[in-house]
Amino acid sequence: MFLCTQMGLGHEEGFGAPCLKCKEKCEGFELHYWRKICRNCKCGQEEHDIPSSNEEDRKVGKLFEDTKYTTLIEKLKNDPVYKRNVMILSSPVPAKKNITIDTVTYEWAPPVQSQALARQYMQMLPKEKQPVAGSEGAQYRKKQLAKQLPAHDQDPSKCHELSPSEVKHMEQFVKKYKREALGVGDVKLPGDVEVRAPDENNLKNGGGRGTSSAVGTMEKSPNRKASQYSCYHCKLNMKEGDPAVYAERAGYDKLWHPGCFTCCTCSELLVDMIYFWKNGNLYCGRHYCDSERPRCAGCDECCFISQQICQGCHNAIDPEVQRVTYNNFNWHATQECFLCSCCSKCLIGQKFISVAGMLFCSVACKEKMMS
């Protein structure tokens, strides 16, 4: 009966998976698809070592469906599964007699044509966050995919029993952030970037968004040295020959060091350079949604409920307040509101009978009231 609670929540994928954070077995997992927080240690799903599949790739693919964003859309036109860029870098290592090949496989790499530029980008990331296959950095990337881009922030089917109205509000919200905020970083050398005119329709998001449809002059600045460019985050100058990350929605007059392309809220690297731009700041998906909608501490879902009215006190129920929902009627989950309409017995955690928005603790109370 409760729309959401802060107790009894587990993971959808498995049972007893070891938590990477508390290093213990969490015995309270149950196979309820809407449960996203461990009931035992309260860790998020990303903290648990649950076997992976291509579900994360499908999630990223769905995130970019129906968008006009230029970096990834070509990869998504014919296949709903996002094909991340797995990159294998090989460099000869001289030995006494033979030349061996030192090979490094990255589970993800920026979508650039130059392997040398991709290598430079990777080397500028903290070593423990470089997504080398089988390494700590690969686990870090996997964890951040789950944490920064939760499926229940973009797909109503991943949420728990949304009403038709809530589904509609969520779909409108997702369309809005795809249209106004979602993007993927570009890795380029400073000076090789076209400076584009900002899109006036997006100035409200804190700085113009350079798009292929923007109208205005576009020019390169090859005569400008890298040291004359400064990182938008740390304000330090770029070094000669080092690549920078650009965000199309922020405008190509801004750039970041690879290690500075982070969420303004959690300060973590933006996984696969997927960002949300708002009011002059970069956000990961989770914290962008948090800045727009309240999030339930129990089920980890954003609230898309409009002002529903409590049947008990007839006041509006705040989206962040715990409520009881039954047959499209709503009550504050308090002793003062969720009670028998006849004898005023509190019904929280109790069986009840509902008739046209009225609650009864027993058939006797129902018959007494209805008569």
Supply the DSSP string of 13-65, one letter for each residue: S-SSPBBTTT-SB-TT----TT--B-TTT--BGGGB-PPP-THHHHHHHHHTT
Residue-range domains of the chain with CATH: 1-51 (no CATH), 323-370 (2.10.110.10)
- Is pLDDT above 60 for 179? yes
| pLDDT attached to residue 19 | 43
- Is pLDDT above 70 for 289? yes
Contact 229, 193 (CB under 8 A): no
As to burial, measured by CB atoms within 10 angstroms (0-12 exposed, 13-18 middle, 19+ buried), residue 58 is middle
As to burial, measured by CB atoms within 10 angstroms (0-12 exposed, 13-18 middle, 19+ buried), residue 340 is buried
SS3 158: helix
CA 183, CA 60: separation in Å to the nearest integer? 12
* Average pLDDT of the chain, as a whole number: 75
Most confident of 145-149, 290-294, 339-343: 145-149
User: What does pTM read for this prediction?
Assistant: 0.65
Nearest Cα residue to 146 out of 252, 271, 265, 25:
271
Q: How far is CA 357 from CA 87, 285, 304, 325, in A?
A: 59, 38, 22, 10
Q: What is the pLDDT of residues 81-120, one digit of tens each?
A: 555 667 787 665 555 555 556 688 999 888 787 888 989 9
Contact 273, 245 (CB under 8 A): yes
Q: Which two tokens stand for residue 300?
A: 């980890």
- Cβ neighbors of 223 (< 8 A, separation 6 or more) are 191
Q: Where are the beta strands (DSSP E) in 43-148?
A: 87-94, 99-106
| pLDDT attached to residue 207 | 46
Helix, strand, coil percentages in the chain from 3-state DSSP, rounded to 5: 25, 20, 55
Residue 51: count other Cβ atoms within 10 Å of its Cβ. 7
Q: What is the pLDDT of residues 192-206, one digit of tens each?
A: 876 554 444 444 444
What's the average model confidence in pLDDT over 219-248? 81
- Is pLDDT above 60 for 33? no
Contact 294, 320 (CB under 8 A): yes
Angle at 322 between CA 5 and CA 349, to 5 degrees: 60
Q: What is the pLDDT of residues 205-231, one digit of tens each?
A: 444 433 333 322 334 555 566 568 899
Element of type H or E holding 170: helix 164-180
